[in-house]
């Protein structure tokens, strides 16, 4: 398995590796979520929900890194925290303010609500996964 730092910057199109990893993580998140039993519109096993939310959030981060690399940000200068990610997205997605808003919603929904708090409402979790899918597709230009 590749880690975040194993991608070679000298390889032409190496940002595509980040997009491929984003898609792989997103698909893994969906598989993990299917392991959580549902009863009356609520997930009964939050372990699988939290795992799926954190994996989907990581997928979004891979897609963002690919997008930033594609826009000329050196690998060593990729954002390391939430504020840096927002600033970078604002700078490079200036034509589309929806990207920043969508990332903020994903951060709040998947990372905070889904992973830390443990959201159990099926429709809410699925909505945030859908937003993650939309952002990954928008940044990568690929369909999941």
3-state secondary structure the chain: CCCCCCCCCCCCCCHHHHHHHHHHHHHHHHHHHHCCCEECCEECCHHHHHHHHHHHHHHHHHHHHHHHHHCCCCHHHCCCCHHHHHHHHHHHCCCCCHHHHHHHHHHHHHHHHHHHHCCCEHHHHHHHHHHHHHHHHHHHCCCC
Q: What is the pLDDT of residue 14?
A: 73
Tens digits of residue pLDDT in 44-61: 999 999 999 999 999 999
Q: What is the pLDDT of residue 34?
A: 97
Nearest residue to 80 (alpha-carbon basis) of 93, 101, 99, 64: 64
Residue carrying structure tokens 């929904």: 109
Looking at the chain, the whole-number percentage of residues with pLDDT higher than 70 is 91
Tens digits of residue pLDDT in 116-133: 999 999 999 999 999 999
- Categorise residue 72: left if φ over 0, alpha if ψ from -120 to 50, beta otherwise: left
Q: What is the pLDDT of residue 118?
A: 95
Euclidean distance between CA atoms 142 and 37, whole angstroms: 30
Tens digits of residue pLDDT in 59-108: 999 999 999 999 999 999 999 999 999 999 999 987 778 999 999 999 99
Please report the domains of the chain, with CATH numbers, ordered by start residue.
Answer: 15-140 (1.20.120.330)
């Amino acid at each position: 398995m590749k880690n975040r730092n194993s991608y070679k910057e000298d390889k032409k199109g190496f940002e595509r590796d980040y997009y491929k990893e984003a898609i792989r993580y997103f698909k893994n998140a969906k598989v993990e979520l299917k392991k959580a039993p549902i009863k009356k519109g609520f997930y009964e096993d939050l372990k699988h929900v939290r795992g799926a939310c954190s994996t989907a959030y990581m997928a979004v981060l891979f897609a963002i890194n690919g997008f930033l690399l594609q826009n000329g940000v050196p690998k060593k200068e990729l954002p390391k925290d939430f504020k840096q990610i927002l600033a970078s997205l604002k700078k490079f997605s200036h034509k589309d303010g929806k990207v920043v808003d969508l990332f903020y919603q994903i951060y709040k929904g998947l990372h905070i609500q889904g992973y830390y708090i443990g959201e159990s409402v099926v429709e809410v979790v699925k909505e945030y996964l859908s937003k993650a899918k939309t952002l990954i597709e928008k940044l990568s230009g690929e369909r999941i």
